[in-house]
Copies of this chain bind each other. A is one copy, B any other.
Amino acid sequence: MNTLQVELGDRRYPIYIGCGLLDQTELYIKHIKAKQVMVVTNEKVAALYLGTVLEQLKAYEVAQVILPDGEQHKSLDVLTQIFDTLLANKFGRSATVIALGGGVIGDMGGFAAACYQRGIPFIQIPTTLLAQVDSSVGGKTGVNHPLGKNMIGAFYQPQCVIADTDVLDSLDDRQLSAGLAEVIKYGLIRDAEFFGWLEDNMDALLARDKQALAFAIERSCINKAEVVAEDETESGVRATLNLGHTFGHAIETGLGYGEYLHGEAVAIGTCQAADLSRRKGWLNDSDVERIIVLFKRAKLPVYPPNALSPEQFIKFMSVDKKNVDGDIRLILLKAIGLATLPVGVDEKLLHTTLASYRS
C-alpha cells in the first residue's frame, strides 16, 4: 500500500492506494470518529462490494442508502434520499458518511456530508478508475442542475480516500477508458513526462496490467494532490484541471446526463481544446495529432456528437464556473504538459473550432 498526503493544513488527509484495501478494517477504524456510519452507494456497486465494506463495520451502528446508478441521478432530488435516511436513523454530527462508488456517488455522498447538519465527516472509497484518479481527491462535491453540470455543491474534504486497485477488475472496458481520459489530462496540463509514459504504456493499461494501473493512479493522484494543495477553492491553478471540461460539460448537459460518460465527454472536449489551442498558434499540428491518437488508443471518442450544434455548445458553455460576468473562459494548452489559466476566447475562433473539428 502507498500513502499520499493531500497537504491542506488542518484538513490534511491521506490517499491510500493498493490492492486488497477494502477489507483492511483498521483503515476504516482509523478514520471513523463515533459509532454511527452511513454507507452511500449505488445498485451496481452494492452488489459487488457493499458486503465486504459492511463486514469491516461490525463495531458500528450502520445505515445504508443505495441510489440508482448513473450521472442522470446526480440531482438535488436524489440527494434528498440521503438526508432522509440520515434523519430517519437519527444520525448526529459525529456520524461518518462513506461514499462507496464512482464519481457520482463520491460527489453526492460528499455533498450530503458537507450539508448534513452543516457538515459531518466522510470517507471516499472510489470504485472506478475515474474516481480513483480524479473525483475522489480534492474535495469537489455536488450535484447537477438541468441547466448546468456540478452547479450546486461544496468544497468539502474527506477524512481519507481508500483506493483499492482490485476493484478495477470488475470495471467494464468503457468505464476503464473513461477513467483514462482524466489520467491523460494530468500529462497534458502539467506532466509531459507522464504523457510520454502513457504513450508507451497505453496497451498495458488497457490490458489491465496491475503494475501499470497502480503507477498511473499514483502519478495522477500526486499531480492532483499537488494542484489541490496549492489552490483548494480554485482561485487559480486548480482551474487547469478543467482542461476539456467546459466542452465536455456542454456535451453531458446538452445530450442529457448519462448519455456520454464524464470521461468520454472530457476526451472529446480535450481534443476540441487542443484544436482551439492550435488555432491560437500555441500547439502545432503534430502535438494535436499526438493528443488525438492517444485518446483514440485509449478507446475514447474524439469528435463531438453531431446532435450538438456549435450554437448549442456555446449556449451550454456560457454557464460554466470559470466564466466571468457571462463571458466564456477556457483552459487551453501552450504545449503538451503546459496548460493556461482560464483565458477569454474570441467567439469567432471558438465557433471555428466547434464548426470544423467534427467527424
A324 contacts B94, C-beta separation under 8 Å: yes
A76 beta carbon closer than 8 Å to chain B: yes
Partner-contacting stretch, out of A43-51, A145-153, A192-200: A145-153
Within 8 A of B (CB), among A99-125: 114-119
Copies of this chain in the oligomer: 2
Contacts A83-B151, A90-B326, A154-B154 known; 8 new A-B pairs at CB < 8 A: A34-B324, A76-B76, A83-B145, A88-B147, A90-B323, A92-B323, A92-B326, A94-B324
Q: How far is the CA of A94 from the CA of B151 in the complex (A)?
A: 14
**Residue A321 lies at the interface, judged by CB distance under 8 Å to chain B:** yes
Least distance between A158 CB and chain B CB atoms (Å): 15
Chain B positions within 8 Å of A76 at CB level: 76, 80
For residue A161, give the distance in angstroms from its CB to the closest CB of chain B: 19
A321 touches B117 (CB 8 A): yes
Within 8 A of B (CB), among A21-69: 34-36, 61
> Can you list 30 A-B pairs with a CB-CB distance of less than 8 A?
A34-B324, A34-B325, A35-B325, A36-B325, A36-B326, A61-B325, A87-B145, A87-B151, A87-B319, A88-B147, A90-B318, A92-B321, A92-B323, A92-B324, A93-B322, A93-B323, A93-B324, A115-B115, A115-B153, A116-B152, A117-B151, A117-B321, A118-B142, A118-B150, A118-B153, A118-B233, A118-B234, A118-B321, A119-B233, A154-B154
Q: How far is the CA of A92 from the CA of B148 in the complex (A)?
A: 12
Could you say which residues of chain B place their CB within 8 Å of the CB of A357?
none
- Identify the A interface with B (CB < 8 A): 34-36, 61, 76, 80, 83-84, 87-88, 90-94, 114-119, 140, 142, 145, 147-148, 150-155, 233-234, 318-326
Which residue, A34, A155, A324, has most C-beta atoms of chain B within 10 A?
Answer: A324
A325 touches B83 (CB 8 A): no
Known: A87-B145, A145-B87, A147-B87. A119 touches B155 (CB 8 A): yes
A92 touches B325 (CB 8 A): yes
B152 with A115: CB separation less than 8 A = yes
Selected contact of A140 from candidates B91, B118, B233, B234, CB within 8 Å: B118
Q: In the complex, what residue of chain B is closest to A120 when comparing beta carbons?
A: B321
Contacts of A92 in B (CB 8 A): 320-321, 323-326
Residues of chain B with a CB closer than 8 A to A140's CB: 118
Nearest-CB distance from A309 to chain B (Å)? 19
Chain B nearest Cβ from A138, distance in angstroms? 11
Q: Specify which chain B residues have a CB less than 8 angstroms from the CB of A148 in the assembled complex.
A: 87
Min CB gap A338→B, angstroms = 24
User: Smallest distance from the beta carbon of A92 to chain B beta carbons, Å?
Assistant: 5
Chain B residues with CB under 8 Å of A155's CB are 118-119
The answer to whether B321 touches A115 (Cβ under 8 A) is: no
Q: Which of B80, B84, B319 contacts A90 (CB 8 A)?
A: B319
Q: Bound complex: CA of A36 vs CA of B327, how far in Å?
A: 12
Contacts of A84 in B (CB 8 A): 145, 147
Contacts of A154 in B (CB 8 A): 114-115, 118-119, 154
